[in-house]
Amino acid sequence: MITWMGLTGAAIVTSGVTAVAANAAGAGPLGQEEAASGEVPVTPGTSHAPGLATPMPVSVPGAIVNVADFGAAGDGATDDSGAIQAAFDAVEPGGIVFIPGGTYLCGIAPGNSNECLAIKKAGIRVFGTGILKRAPNTAAYLLRISADRVTLDGLTLDGSRGAAGIADGLGTGASIRSFGRTGGTVMNCRFVNSPSQHIDLGQGSHRWRLEGNSFENFYRSAIQIGPEVADTQGCHYNLIANNHIKGDLPNTVRVSNGIFLTSSATTQAHDLKTCDHNVIIGNVVEDVADVGIESGYKCRFTVISDNTVKHSFNSGILVRDNQYTTVKGNTINCRTGHNGTVRQGIYIDGSSINGDPAPWTLAYCVVEGNTVKNGEVGGISVIAAQYSVVSNNVIHGVSNTNGSSGINIKSGFVRCFNNIIQTYQFGIRLSLEGNRPLSNVLEAAAVKDNLIETCRYGVFMDAGSVPMELRHADISSNRMRGLTYAPIASSTSAQPAVTNSRLYDNQEVDEPFKMTDTQASAGKFITGLSGLERDTPEAPGDTVLLFDKYVAGIVVLRTGNNETAAFLTDGAGSITPIAESANVGVAGSAKSYSFEGKAGAFVLKRASIDRLFQTVKATLL
């Protein structure tokens, strides 16, 4: 056996190693180093060097081995699984296996059970341009990785979907299957024709890097990472970057996702089995039959950033029952004209697991800087996902007469601001219908500084069939243009109860007179700014407007000379004093100033000849 020193001083077996393998190991162009050393060069594709006896493959630490040396034909007809498995078994940990061009048909290799091929040694790198193809009637994973720090580079894996004995939904149909392993890399590979997933990384898969691969024609998911129902370990710190995924979108719904992160779904102890700190960035996903990118049950700290999702059958990006997930800078062009169930751009859903004993209603998700086009049902939805932020997104719909919503908020404590929304029936819709709330209260939603154009309604409060209370909401400083109906409106068949909420400075710029809405529970909103300081009336009998709609709650008045008075209001104009001051009371109190309800507004009225103070600050609690 003739050797030379290559990558980091490792001995490289020359028998049958091709020029490509030698170059990849850092040996330089084939022939240069051999000529300098006087060694006999290897003939690419042969099993021995000229003039030498045929050597037996040996196990050498750090060596490169060529599967051809073990008898792999690569002719697309011979079952090469035994030869390739022998190469995998011969190389030492940290070694390299080269698979030259050709199609390598793989049944189940001798000694394997439900996998055609298995890598069992740590640190092995498998590279080349060869095609590993599952043989017909082989109900087994094409490749199982059972070691840490394994790298696949440049290969094609063909799952033979549709061949004899390989039906869609095959339980062992993944092209690559691994669990409980760390630090794997799959890069620059091509995956085609899987009857299940292309890559399936189960429980305990950590710090994998899936980068620069292409995926076509698959039944379940191109990439799936996460534990299954009975598993006890999660999957953490994995990177999925710069891959291209192309589905074969049919006209019926099936479970074909582009990228799918999942944790155990409904078991009592599933909080122990989470996918945490995984990053999905820079991928292109198109024409998949279900969801483009999904961060599934109980995932946390997921980052979904700068991806392009085109024409998925359902949501472009789906986040289910997550915490601390960030969806940022993605471009989603939804598919139109089909019967998918969730035809939306981005769907943040905390109500997916009915009967969950420990629901994560506090989501802390961020949806920022995304572009969504053609979401037939909706652009962005946030459901049962409290403390989430939806900001700086551009959302363009298809029609403003189809019941669609640019942004659909079904959760309290959501901040929605600085979004641009065009061509939906409801620009921004607040509702509880279909939610899994702990109570029927949508609390402390903030809808501010959005631009809404060519919609039927601007901001719409929809009780639907569920009794709903909108409490402590802040709907302010939104700008609208080209609306069919009111800028701010509510459902009329079942009006939501609205308490202690603020409606202020919402303007339709092409019809400014529609700033104050006539539909939206006129007795319950504030169109004055809570906490704003006002000048007091200048003459006896005059009034100054504090809030131009009735409001239910506690109103505190603090005068310029530091008198403080407090009043309880019921939302219908009735006022009960809590603490009158020396000069401020209710009507009929003989005070110099009175807090009164007048024609749908709360005002401060001056009764005294003397103007005792110049300003008053009105605050709603």
d(CA 556, CA 570): 14
Judge whether residue 78 has pLDDT over 90: yes
pLDDT (0 to 100) of residue 55: 39
d(CA 177, CA 201): 6
Report which listed range, 310-314, 383-387, 446-450, is most confident: 446-450
d(CA 261, CA 317): 12
Task: Report whether 528 contacts 504 (CB < 8 A).
Answer: yes
Q: What is the mean pLDDT of residues 158-174?
A: 93
The burial of 541, by beta-carbon neighbours within 10 Å (0-12 exposed, 13-18 middle, 19 or more buried), is given as exposed
Q: What is the DSSP string of 368-414?
A: ES-EEE--SSEEEEEES-BT-EEES-EEE-S-SSSS-EEEEEESSS-
Which position has the higher pLDDT, 94 or 337? 94
* Nearest of 544, 420, 396, 530 to residue 474 by alpha carbon: 530
The residue count of the chain comes to 621
Only one residue has tokens 């009105």, namely: 618
Q: Is 449 left (phi over 0), alpha (psi -120 to 50) or beta?
A: left
Q: How far is CA 407 from CA 162, 215, 370, 390, 567, in A?
A: 41, 32, 12, 9, 36
The burial of 539, by beta-carbon neighbours within 10 Å (0-12 exposed, 13-18 middle, 19 or more buried), is given as exposed
Label each residue of 523-576 as H, E or C: CCEECCCCCCEEECCCCCCCEEEEECCCCEEEEEEEECCCCEEEEEEECCCCEE
pLDDT (0 to 100) of residue 61: 58
Domains, the chain, ordered by start: 1-196 (no CATH), 528-620 (2.60.40)
pLDDT in tens, 212-236: 999 999 998 999 999 877 777 889 9
Q: 448: which strand partners? A: 417, 476
Look at strands 507-508 and 451-453 and give their pairing: unpaired
Query: How many of the other CB atoms lie within 10 Å of CB of 326?
Result: 20
Task: Report whether 185 contacts 208 (CB < 8 A).
Answer: yes
Query: How many of the other CB atoms lie within 10 Å of CB of 67?
Result: 27
pLDDT (0 to 100) of residue 274: 79
* Nearest of 165, 115, 114 to residue 136 by alpha carbon: 165
Query: How many of the other CB atoms lie within 10 Å of CB of 493?
Result: 8
Q: Report which DSSP code applies to 56.
A: P
Phi then psi for residue 116, to 5 deg, are -70, -50
Which position has the higher pLDDT, 462 or 547? 462
pLDDT (0 to 100) of residue 19: 38
pLDDT cut 70: percent of the chain above it: 79
Q: 337: which strand partners? A: none
pLDDT (0 to 100) of residue 189: 99
pLDDT cut 90: percent of the chain above it: 57
Judge whether residue 146 has pLDDT over 80: yes
Q: Which residues contact 36 (CB under 8 A, 6 or more apart)?
A: none
pLDDT (0 to 100) of residue 282: 99
Q: Which residues contact 211 (CB under 8 A, 6 or more apart)?
A: 185, 186, 187, 239, 240, 241, 242, 243
d(CA 173, CA 615): 76
* Amino acid sitting at position 448: K
Q: What is the mean pLDDT of residues 455-484?
A: 87
Output Rg (C-alpha) for the chain, integer angstroms. 33
pLDDT (0 to 100) of residue 532: 77
Instruction: Look over the chain and give the mean of its residue pLDDT values, rounded to a whole number.
Output: 83
d(CA 322, CA 75): 48
pLDDT in tens, 504-536: 778 788 765 444 443 344 444 556 667 778 899
Of 27-31, 72-76, 139-143, 549-553, the range with the lowest mean pLDDT is 27-31
Which position has the higher pLDDT, 529 or 138? 138
The pair of three-digit structure tokens given for residue 31, joined into one six-digit string: 């022939």
Judge whether residue 62 has pLDDT over 80: no
Q: Report which DSSP code applies to 104.
A: E
Only one residue has tokens 């909420």, namely: 501
Judge whether residue 264 has pLDDT over 70: no
Judge whether residue 56 has pLDDT over 70: no
pLDDT (0 to 100) of residue 442: 87
Task: Report whether 292 contacts 241 (CB < 8 A).
Answer: no
The pair of three-digit structure tokens given for residue 344, joined into one six-digit string: 């939306």
Is the CA virtual torsion 4, 10, 11, 16 positive or negative? negative
pLDDT (0 to 100) of residue 528: 62
Q: How far is CA 127 from CA 67, 121, 504, 522, in A?
A: 11, 15, 63, 70
d(CA 549, CA 566): 18
